[in-house]
Amino acid sequence: MPDISVLSVASEYWPLVKTGGLADVAGALPAAVAPHGVTMTPFIPGYRAIMKALGRKRLVHEYASLLGSPARIVAAKHGGHPILVLDAPAFFDRDGGPYADAMGRDWLDNGLRFAAFGKAAADLAAGRAGARPFDLLHAHDWQAGLAPAYLTYAASGAHRPRTVMTIHNMAFQGFFGADFFPRLELPQLAWSIEGVEYHGGVGFLKAGVGLADAITTVSPGYAEEIRRPQFGMGLEGLIVGRQDRLSGIVNGIDPAIWNAATDKALEATFTANTLEKRTKNKRAVEAVFGLEPGDGPLFVVISRLTWQKGMDVLIEVIDHLVGLGGRLALLGSGDAAIEAGLREAAGRHPGRIGIRTGYDEALSHLMQGGGDAILVPSRFEPCGLTQLYGLAYGCVPVVARTGGLADTVVDANLAAVDADAATGILFSPLNYESFAHAITRAVRLYADTAAWTRIQKRGMAADFSWTRSGRTYAQLYARLKENA
Mean pLDDT of 67-77: 97
Sheet holding 246-248, edge to edge: 58-66, 69-78, 81-87, 38-45, 4-9, 136-140, 162-167, 214-217, 246-248
Helix, strand, or coil (residue 87):
strand
- In the chain the domains, ranked by start, together with CATH numbers, are 4-252+466-482 (3.40.50.2000), 275-461 (3.40.50.2000)
Burial class (CB in 10 A: 0-12, 13-18, 19+), 442: buried
Angle between helix 361-370 and helix 278-289 axes, rounded to 10 deg: 130
Q: How far apart are CA 12 and CA 6, in angstroms?
A: 17
In this predicted structure, what is the pLDDT of residue 411? 98
Model confidence band, residue 321 (pLDDT cutoffs 50, 70, 90): very high
Overall residue count recorded for the chain in this entry = 484
Model confidence band, residue 483 (pLDDT cutoffs 50, 70, 90): confident
Cβ neighbours of residue 209 closer than 8 Å, sequence gap 6 or more = 145, 165, 167, 215, 235, 238, 239, 242
Q: How far apart are CA 399 and CA 409, in angstroms?
A: 8
Which of 395, 421, 142, 137 lies closest to 275, judged by CA? 395
Interval 197-206: pLDDT, tens: 999 999 999 9
Contact present, 165 and 209 (Cβ < 8 Å): yes
Interval 438-477: pLDDT, tens: 999 999 999 999 999 999 999 999 988 899 999 999 999 9
Interval 11-35: pLDDT, tens: 999 999 998 889 989 999 999 999 9
Q: What is the DSSP string of 144-194?
A: GTTHHHHHHTSPTT----EEEEEES-TT---EE-GGGGGGG---GGGSSTT
Contact present, 45 and 31 (Cβ < 8 Å): no
Asked if omega into 429 is within 30° of 0 (cis), the reply is: yes
- Angle CA 400–405–409, to nearest 5: 100
Could you give phi then psi for residue 344, rounded to 5 degrees? -65, -40
Mean pLDDT of 324-343: 96
Contact present, 154 and 133 (Cβ < 8 Å): no
Could you give phi then psi for residue 255, rounded to 5 degrees? -70, -15
In this predicted structure, what is the pLDDT of residue 325? 97
Check pLDDT > 60 for residue 1. no
Helix, strand, or coil (residue 85):
strand
Check pLDDT > 70 for residue 165. yes
